[in-house]
Each structure stands twice: as C-alpha cells, then as structure tokens.
Amino acid sequence: MGEGLLMGYCREHFCSRCGYKAVVSGGPDVGMAMSYTLTISCQDCEELHDVGWLEPKFAVEAQGQSTFQWKQLRLRCPKNAAHHWEPYTGQCPVCSAALQINEEGEGYHWD
C-alpha cells in the first residue's frame, strides 16, 4: 500500500472524567487488505470497538471478466451480537463525557 491517505491510523482516545482509554481509529477507516472499519460504542460492554464494515469482494463472471464490489458486513459488537451499540461520535462509552485524543499516545499505523 505504501504511504498515503488510505492507511489506517489508530489513536489513543481517553476520558478525563472517568479515565477510560481506548486505541481505536475513531471513525470510518481503511486498514489492512483494504477493508473498512468503523468505530462503534457498545453500551453493554461500555467499550469502543473497531469493527469490520466493508470488505472487498471479487467475482469472476461467465465471460471471464472479474467484477469488484464492496461487501457490507453486518455491524455488531465483537463480544456479543445481542449488545446494543451506536456509531462512535466522540463520547465516552462509560460516562458520556467527550473523549480527548492523545496525539502523542500509543497510536500506531497499520502496515
């Protein structure tokens, strides 16, 4: 993939009220193998999770032409499919305060 905008990037998000911390991308992101992830906030786990969202899918047709589409995965909490969650919008999953981003924290680049 090399360098560029398509590389996923996770950053440390932290709550100054309750001390919650998570290293997540914080939004729609493109990572390994060109799959998209989305950050969700699970109300049952009180955790943020990066979950798979879109996945590239190649299909070969009868004429030997290959087509490419994005396959949309069902979004769910990785711990339990029955958990209630919402897309992460910058709030702490524990106490609902606004999370801050630690730019010098343990963020990392996917490679």
CB closer to Zn ion out of 25 and 41: 41
CB closer to Zn ion out of 15 and 22: 15
Q: Which residues pair with 66 in a beta bridge?
A: 60
Contact mark string toward Zn ion, 4..43, x via CB under 5 A: -----------x-xx-x---------------------x-
Q: Examine residue 84 and tell whether it contacts Zn ion (CB under 5 A).
A: no
Q: How far is the CB of 78 from Zn ion (least distance, A)?
A: 7
User: What is the helix (H) or strand (E) element at residue 3, kind and residue range?
Assistant: none
